[in-house]
Chain A
Amino acid sequence: MSDWKEIIDPELLSTFTGDVTVGLDLGSRTGKGVLLAGGKLYTAITPTGVYMQETADKLLDRLLKQSKVAREDIAYIVGTGYGRVALSFGEIRHKIVTEISCHAMGSHYLNAKVRSIVDIGGQDSKAIRVDPTTGKVIEFIMNDKCAAGTGRFLEKVAHLLDLTLEQLGAEALSADAPADVSSQCVVFAESEVISLKAKGVSAANIAAGIHLATARRVRNLVNRIGLEPDLVFSGGVSNNPGMTKALEELLGHPISKVKLDTIYAGALGAAIFAQKAASRSDSDLNDFALLNTK
Chain B
Amino acid sequence: MSTILTSEAQEQLNHIRHSRDVVHAYSPAIQKLFNLVIDYVDDAEKAGQGGKKVIWAGVPWAMPLIYSTGAIPVAFSELGRISGQEAITISEDHYQMPAETCSMVKATAGEWYLRKQAGSSITRIFGSSSACEPYNLAWEVMKKEGFDVYTSDVVYRAPGVEGGRYEELVQYFVDEIREFNEWLTGTREIDKDSLHLEITRKNYLMRRIREIMDLRLNHPFYVKSLGIMYLLNGLTHYFGKPEEYTEVLDSLVEELSLLEANEADRRRAIPLIWTGGSGQEFGIYDAIDNAGGALLGFVSSPYAKDYNEDIDPVESLARFQLESQMAGASIYRRHVIEQQIDKIGARGLILYGYLGCSFGSVTREMYREYFHNKGIPSINLEGTFQVGPPSGQILTRIRAFIEMLS
Q: Chain B residues in contact with chain A, CB under 8 A?
A: 268, 270, 290-292, 377, 391-397, 399-400, 402-404, 406
Closest CB in chain B relative to A4 CB, distance in Å: 25
A289-B270 Cα distance, complex, nearest whole Å: 10
A177 within 8 A of partner (CB): no
Can you name 4 extra interface pairs (CB under 8 A) apart from A100-B396, A288-B406? A99-B396, A100-B400, A144-B393, A288-B402
Contacting residue for B291 out of A85, A136, A142, A288, CB 8 A: A288
Q: Is A194 an interface residue (CB 8 A)?
A: no
A138 CB-CB contact with B under 8 Å: yes
Residue numbers in B under 8 Å from A82 (CB-CB): 392, 396
Closest to A84 in B: B396
1/0 contact string of A60-87 vs chain B (CB within 8 Å): 0000000000000000000000100100
- List 17 contacting pairs A-B, 8 Å CB cutoff, sorted by A: A98-B400, A99-B396, A100-B397, A101-B400, A137-B403, A137-B404, A139-B377, A140-B404, A142-B393, A144-B391, A144-B397, A288-B403, A288-B406, A289-B268, A290-B290, A290-B292, A293-B290
Contacts of B268 in A (CB 8 A): 286, 289
The listed residue (B290, B377, B395, B403) touching A97 by CB distance below 8 A is: B403
* A124 CB-CB contact with B under 8 Å: yes
Nearest-neighbour CB distance to chain A for B310, whole angstroms, equals 48
**Assembly CA distance A137 to B348 (angstroms):** 14
Number of interface residues of A (CB under 8 A): 22
Q: Which of A251-294 contact B (CB under 8 A)?
A: 286-290, 293
Q: Bound complex: CA of A293 vs CA of B288, how far in Å?
A: 12
Is there contact, CB below 8 Å, between A98 and B393? no
Given contacts A98-B396, A144-B391, A144-B393, contact A286 B403 (CB under 8 A): no
Chain A residues, Cβ within 8 Å of B394: 144
Q: Residues of A with Cβ closer than 8 Å to B?
A: 82, 85, 97-101, 123-124, 136-140, 142, 144, 286-290, 293
Task: Evaluate contact between A124 and B400: CB separation under 8 angstroms.
Answer: no
Interchain nearest-CB distance for A197 vs B (Å): 30
Is the pair B396, A142 in contact by a Cβ cutoff of 8 Å?
Answer: yes
A139 CB contacts on chain B under 8 angstroms:
377, 404
Q: Are A100 and B393 CB-contacts (below 8 A) given A288-B292, A289-B291?
A: no
**CB-based contact B397/A142 at 8 Å:** yes
Closest to B290 in A: A293
Let me know if B406 and A137 touch, CB within 8 A.
no
B246 to chain A: closest CB distance in Å?
35
Highest count of chain B CB atoms <10 Å: which of A286, A289, A293: A289
> Which listed residue (A98, A136, A144) contacts B399, Cβ 8 A?
A98
Determine whether the beta carbon of B399 is less than 8 Å from that of A290.
yes
Given contacts A136-B404, A288-B292, whether A123 and B399 have CB atoms under 8 Å apart is no
The chain A residue with its CB closest to the CB of B394 is: A144
Given contacts A98-B399, A100-B403, A137-B403, contact A289 B393 (CB under 8 A): no
Which of A99, A100, A138, A288 gathers the greatest number of chain B CB atoms within 10 Å?
A: A288
Enumerate chain B residues within 8 angstroms of A140, measured Cβ to Cβ. 400, 404
Looking at the assembled complex, report how far the CB atom of A9 sits from the nearest CB atom of chain B, in whole angstroms. 22
In angstroms, Cα B290 to Cα A289, docked, is: 7
Q: Which of B290, B399, B404 contacts A138 (CB 8 A)?
A: B404
CA distance A101 to B405 in the complex (A): 11
Q: Are B393 and A124 in contact (CB under 8 A)?
A: yes
What is the bound-complex CA distance between A139 and B402, given in angstroms?
A: 11
Name the residue of chain A whose CB is nearest to the CB of B396: A98
Least Cβ–Cβ distance between A53 and chain B, in angstroms: 16
Complex CA–CA separation, A110 to B400 (angstroms): 21
A115 to chain B, nearest CB (A): 15
Of all chain A residues, the one with the shortest Cβ separation from B382 is A145
Contacts of B402 in A (CB 8 A): 288-289
With a CB–CB cut-off of 8 A, which chain B residues contact A138? Answer: 404
Decide if A98 touches B403 in the complex (CB within 8 Å): yes
Cβ contacts under 8 Å, A137 to chain B: 400, 403-404
Which A residues lie within 8 Å of B377 (CB)? 139
